[in-house]
Amino acid sequence: MNRKSLHMVGVWILVQGGSAMKYAEFTNKVAIVTGASRGIGRAVAEVLIESGANVLLVSQHAATLQETVRALSLLGPGQAVAEACTIDGSEETASMIVHAAVSLWGRLDYMVNAAGGARVATVMGANWNNWHEDFDVKFWGYLALMRAAIPFMKRSGDGVVVNLVGVAGKDPNPQLAIASAVNGALRAVTKALADEVSPDHIRLINVNPGSTETDLLHKMAESYAQIRHTAVDVVLDDMRRRGPLGRLPTALDVANVVCFLLSDGAALVTGTSVDIDGGVHRGLA
């Protein structure tokens, strides 16, 4: 899309040019984005920074993270700062990440949990360490970060948390057994926490990407190809054909929805999940 549209709802201003969205209300706000060195996390950080937010980008991939921060710093007007660490599910790590953002900019407005992925594995086929590793990153890690972030959001008078979860949390996939369990648990705890903090004007939403055109999709396709004894390209073509809209979401497609949910345009959206899968999920919404 090349046309630009302008719409105001209170202080919310959305300008769409090309395929990226920008929000004037994000100016000087502070966000933490995990899993930010690539894929959806990077795309979310890009939209936030271009909209004027200051973003702490967190990833365990230190070299890739530094390259990402250098690239996003050129976009402005918001600031991009790197925090290289592994989301390990501990309260200590979560507290360190949150305090790093607050010490830089004095506040915290948005928390976007995008670390981790979906391992291709069955209930019996995954080894026990796989179960612990994935829960440490995506369940205990997200939960610890939410618990660390919310007290600072209360000080600011409001805030928004968006968790990148996945459709397997409501439509369990036997080949994504761990992701199905983790995502289901995240859906439950996010709903409970959203009710708990709603009097503090803090919103929590889960975003459920389906198969998305990122490097993670290619890794998953490699695993599926081994199971099915076929070529990776065959698996990728099959994934892409399943979408009723004719294509899979890109990282930017997901990031645009995430940033809308962070904005005041979604002020009454909380305690729910939003699917971004191009219509692949066939269950009831």
The model's pLDDT over 199-250, given as tens digits with 9 standing for 90+, comes to 999 999 999 887 766 777 677 767 767 778 888 787 777 777 777 777 778 8
Check residues 80 and 11 and name the one with the higher pLDDT: 80
Check residues 23 and 217 and name the one with the higher pLDDT: 23
Give pLDDT, residue 221. 65
pLDDT of residue 131 exceeding 80, the answer is: yes
What is the CATH topology of the domain spanning 6-210+249-274? Rossmann fold (3.40.50)
pTM of the predicted model, to two decimals? 0.86
* 166 phi-psi bin (left φ>0, alpha ψ -120 to 50, beta other): left
How many CB atoms within 10 Å of residue 45? 30
Of the pLDDT bands very low, low, confident and very high (cuts 50, 70, 90), residue 172 is confident
In 3D space, the residue among 31, 27, 147 whose CA is nearest the CA of residue 81 turns out to be 31
The arithmetic mean of pLDDT across residues 33-60, rounded, is: 95
The arithmetic mean of pLDDT across residues 20-37, rounded, is: 91
